[in-house]
């Protein structure tokens, strides 16, 4: 099976397993993730908003436009990378996803990463960061790459090493001048982080 076929199968599992039925009821559709399954870098946001819910794609609203601008600054195209969210249905009124909702989707996110096998995972915002680095504060560690071992879901005892780069969420930074510049500066670190990992 190709990576895309494996990802399609995970998407179908979320539907078959009836994950977060309450969210599924209020959302228009599942927003699973888009981009290149062979990418070395995966971006993970929090949950779809209104535009994403309508389009079925992550980061297509105002935050997505800002994300696209930052990707352009570092010469990355959206088609080259893979983008997803922790929670894959839009929470009503764009409220924060609950701990239970994040927990329910985590195994599927883990499966996505197992298929893609990225070298770098860029977490956008604290919800996404805390999936991988539960005890850290984004204001203290943004822009600092952290090496973590991800346990593989298939219970083999194996794990894979990945670098997590925690960044502020583009929606939070969009209208906050200093956070916006910090996010742009942190984003600029991405090419050298990828280069460094490739050279190891």
Q: Is the dihedral of CA 157, 127, 58, 39 positive or negative?
A: negative
Report the half-sphere exposure of 131 (CA within 13 A, side-chain side).
32
Query: What is the spatial distance between Cα 89 and Cα 9, in angstroms, rounded to a whole number?
Result: 17
Coil, strand or helix: which one is 90?
Answer: coil
Bridge partners, residue 151, by sequence: 159
Q: Is 54 exposed, middle or buried (0-12, 13-18, 19+ CB in 10 A)?
A: middle
Q: Please, which residue, 46 or 101, has the CB nearer to ligand URA?
A: 46
Counting residues that bind ligand URA (by CB under 6 A) gives 11
Pairing of strands 34-35, 82-85: antiparallel
Binding map of ligand URA across residues 59-78, x = CB under 6 A, - = no contact? x---x---------------
Q: Which of 7, 27, 30, 47 forms a contact with ligand URA (CB under 6 A)?
A: 47
Distance in Å, CB of 44 to ligand URA, minimum:
8
Distance in Å, CB of 185 to ligand URA, minimum:
20
- Which strands sit side by side in the sheet containing 146-151, from one edge to the other? 34-35, 82-85, 41-45, 120-124, 159-167, 146-151
Binding map of ligand URA across residues 156-175, x = CB under 6 A, - = no contact? ---------------x----
Query: What is the spatial distance between Cα 17 and Cα 79, in angstroms, rounded to a whole number?
Result: 29
Q: Please, which residue, 37 or 170, has the CB nearer to ligand URA?
A: 170
49 touches ligand URA by CB under 6 A: yes
Binding map of ligand URA across residues 124-163, x = CB under 6 A, - = no contact? ----------------------------------------
Distance in Å, CB of 103 to ligand URA, minimum:
17
Coil, strand or helix: which one is 42?
Answer: strand
Q: Which of 37, 52, 78, 91 forms a contact with ligand URA (CB under 6 A)?
A: 52
Residue nearest to ligand URA (CB): 45
Distance in Å, CB of 169 to ligand URA, minimum:
6
Residues engaged in binding ligand URA (CB under 6 A) = 45-49, 52, 58-59, 63, 85, 171
């Amino acid at each position: 099976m190709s990576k895309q076929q494996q990802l399609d199968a995970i998407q179908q599992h979320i539907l078959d397993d009836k994950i977060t039925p309450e969210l599924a009821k209020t959302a228009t559709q599942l927003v699973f993730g888009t981009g290149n399954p062979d990418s070395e870098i995966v971006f993970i946001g929090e949950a779809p908003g209104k535009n994403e819910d309508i389009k079925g794609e992550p980061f297509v609203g105002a935050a997505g436009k800002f994300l696209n601008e930052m990707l352009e600054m570092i010469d990355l195209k959206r088609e080259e990378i893979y983008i997803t969210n922790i929670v894959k249905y839009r929470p009503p009124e764009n409220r924060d996803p609950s701990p239970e909702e994040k927990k329910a989707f985590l195994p599927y996110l883990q499966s996505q990463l197992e298929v893609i096998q990225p070298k770098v995972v860029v977490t956008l915002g604290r919800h996404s960061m805390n999936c991988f680095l539960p005890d850290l504060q984004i204001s203290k560690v943004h822009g600092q790459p952290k090496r973590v071992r991800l346990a593989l879901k298939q219970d083999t005892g194996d794990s894979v090493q990945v670098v997590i780069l925690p960044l502020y969420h583009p929606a939070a930074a969009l209208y906050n001048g200093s956070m916006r510049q910090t996010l742009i500066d942190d984003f600029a670190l991405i090419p050298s982080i990828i280069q460094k990992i490739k050279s190891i």
